[in-house]
Chain A
């Protein structure tokens, strides 16, 4: 039984396995910390699964807006530690690639920037990388890899993508978010003069 969490865009949580599936999602991109606990609780209840029956946590590691993204990863880690079960991290874009042939998954990562990843049959070829709305068509061959805009990442599809990748023997142990940007901070240039 997999508990899957993604907060790279909105908040999506799913429990999946043994023919059971329950999912709770919202496209609200500002209230991840409010939804996360409620959604985990809700999908377990709806699926009739106790926390002790979950055997693996899967979490999307972005790209996405940083603050929200971290909420889901932190929650996934804490659930896994709480139950003493493994946790796997994978790019959130992987969820969109499930069941598609060639495609470019594109998501909004704020500050008028997009993140994109190209896939063929669920295997990522290039990305995730940053682009702007105008540079996307130059950076990527959208004719061969048609654009799919991710307005929501489904945790259930993320779980499916994770299962596919684990079956292929991929290493999903890194939970480091795909920030793609350095922290917004400029080193101090020394004290400002206040007089003279």
Chain B
């Protein structure tokens, strides 16, 4: 086996992830989630997430080292998500990663969480080297971004992102409206199976011709959420299944239409899905259908590499090491709004 041995730490939201890779080979991917602790609040509570990261950090590092069957002294580098994300949560991972780097006398790479989602693609078992260029649609409870990646080190461009709620947040809020548990995504997916996606025509955010001038690849889900709320309030005994299916259809339609348009308009024949919302059955199906129609190869990493995880951070770190990129200075800060153009802080 070749390539640098890298341990990656992820703590940008509610998942404490520690992963270990050797080059493009996945050796360990350990995740501790505080999702259940947020359920009663209907969304991620930053202070609860940060507390949970601290409680999980020791166990996840030790479990990853055991799973990878390596010694920490064998590592070539440490990578850690430096942003974007929740500042207090990121600081737990960054504090740990810096101390680990000093303890082992190894370089540290503070990397971009979103670009990490793209880096996860190299870890697929049928994967091998990442094929670029690609458009990446990264959708979770924390972000909804469309990226054009020509090179993982030098050329990542943000084509668009949500201007209000993340798609995952919209799923959570609509689930709450419908009396479904948190997190909303899987529950809406389940209920929507029995519903008619054409029953209610919910709005498609930022798809009108005038929106497409300034927000061609941007997303908006706040109007959709409001429309669902209005519909539920004004309708006597609304069909939960139809509402869920119609809502999901609107989200899937906009996400995949814009992602495929980005591929076509930039002459890129590859689309990568990432983030927890990539688990949504309808989004995957519609993406597959539209990619096939346009001769675009759709890549979806396995779910445990789609949701936030440390392996993707390690994979990006290993890629940076392989490409001879200099490590971060030890004094780097976490950046909750880190732009995708900054791949390594």
Residues of A within 8 A of B (CB): 31-38, 40-41, 44, 50-51, 66-67, 70-79, 81-84, 176-177, 179, 183-188, 190-191, 193-196
A38 in contact with B330 given A77-B57, A183-B48 (CB within 8 Å): yes
Q: How far is the CB of B332 from chain A (nearest CB, A)?
A: 7
Chain B: CB-nearest residue to A75: B99
How far, in whole Å, are A34 and B87 apart by their CA atoms in the complex? 13
Please report the C-alpha to C-alpha distance between residue A76 and residue B97 in the assembled complex, in whole angstroms: 11
- Nearest to A176 among chain B residues (CB) is B55
Contact between chains at B100 and A82 (CB < 8 Å):
yes
Partner of A74, one of B95, B108, B230: B95
6 A-B pairs whose Cβ atoms sit less than 8 Å apart in the complex: A38-B330, A51-B105, A78-B57, A188-B41, A194-B230, A195-B230
The answer to whether the Cβ of B291 comes within 8 Å of any Cβ in the partner chain is no
Contact A195–B233 (Cβ < 8 Å):
yes
Q: 1/0 per position for B240-254, CB-CB distance to A under 8 A?
A: 000000000000000
Q: What separation, in Å, do the CA atoms of A152 and B202 have in the docked complex?
A: 57
- Chain A interface, DSSP helix/strand/loop, else mixed: helix
B100 partner residues in chain A, CB cutoff 8 A:
78-79, 81-82
Q: A33-B95, A37-B108, A193-B229 are in contact. List 6 more A-B contacts (CB 8 A).
A: A37-B98, A73-B95, A74-B53, A75-B95, A75-B96, A190-B176
**B53 contacts across to A, CB distance below 8 A:** 70, 74
Task: State which of B50, B234, B330 has its C-beta within 8 Å of the C-beta of A37.
Answer: B330
Chain B 302-339 interface 0/1 with A at a Cβ cutoff of 8 Å (1 = within)? 00000000000000000000000000001111100000
Confirm or deny: B94 has a beta carbon within 8 angstroms of a beta carbon on chain A. Answer: yes
Q: A194's contact among B226, B332, B334, by CB below 8 Å, is which? A: B226
Q: Which residues of B contact A (CB under 8 A)?
A: 40-43, 45, 47-48, 50-51, 53-55, 57-58, 61-62, 72, 87-88, 90-105, 108, 173, 176-177, 226, 229-230, 233-234, 330-334
For the complex, what is the distance from the CA of A31 to the CA of B93, rounded to whole Å?
15
Greatest chain B CB density within 10 A among A44, A72, A195 is at A195
Contact for A70 among B92, B97, B98, B102, CB less than 8 A: B92
- A32 and B103 within 8 A (CB): no
Of B43, B91, B103, B334, the residue contacting A78 (CB under 8 A) is: B103
Q: Are B58 and A81 in contact (CB under 8 A)?
A: yes
Task: Assess whether B104 is in contact with A82, with CB atoms less than 8 Å apart.
Answer: yes
- A77 in contact with B58 given A70-B50, A183-B45 (CB within 8 Å): yes
Q: Which of A70, A82, A186, A193 is close to B95, meaning CB atoms less than 8 Å apart?
A: A70
Q: Are B58 and A79 in contact (CB under 8 A)?
A: no
In the complex, the answer to whether A37 meets B41 with C-beta atoms within 8 Å is no
Contacts of A34 in B (CB 8 A): 331-333
Q: How distant is the Cα of A93 from the Cα of B88 in the complex, in angstroms? A: 23
Chain B proximity of A41: nearest CB distance (Å): 5
On whether A194 and B229 interact (CB within 8 A), knowing A33-B333, A185-B41, A187-B40, the answer reads yes
Question: Given A33-B91, A81-B62, A83-B103, A74 and B234 touching (CB < 8 A)?
Answer: no
Known contacts: A34-B331, A196-B233. The answer to whether A79 contacts B99 by CB under 8 A is: yes
Q: Are B61 and A81 in contact (CB under 8 A)?
A: yes
Residue of A nearest to B229 (CB): A194
Q: Which residue of B lies closest to A188 (CB)?
A: B42
In the bound complex, CA of A84 to CA of B331 (Å): 25
Return the chain B residue nearest A7 by Cβ: B95
Looking at A35, A73, A74, A183, which has the most chain B CB atoms within 10 Å of its CB?
A74
Chain B residues, Cβ within 8 Å of A72: 95
Residue of B72, B88, B95 with most chain A CB atoms under a 10 A cut-off: B95
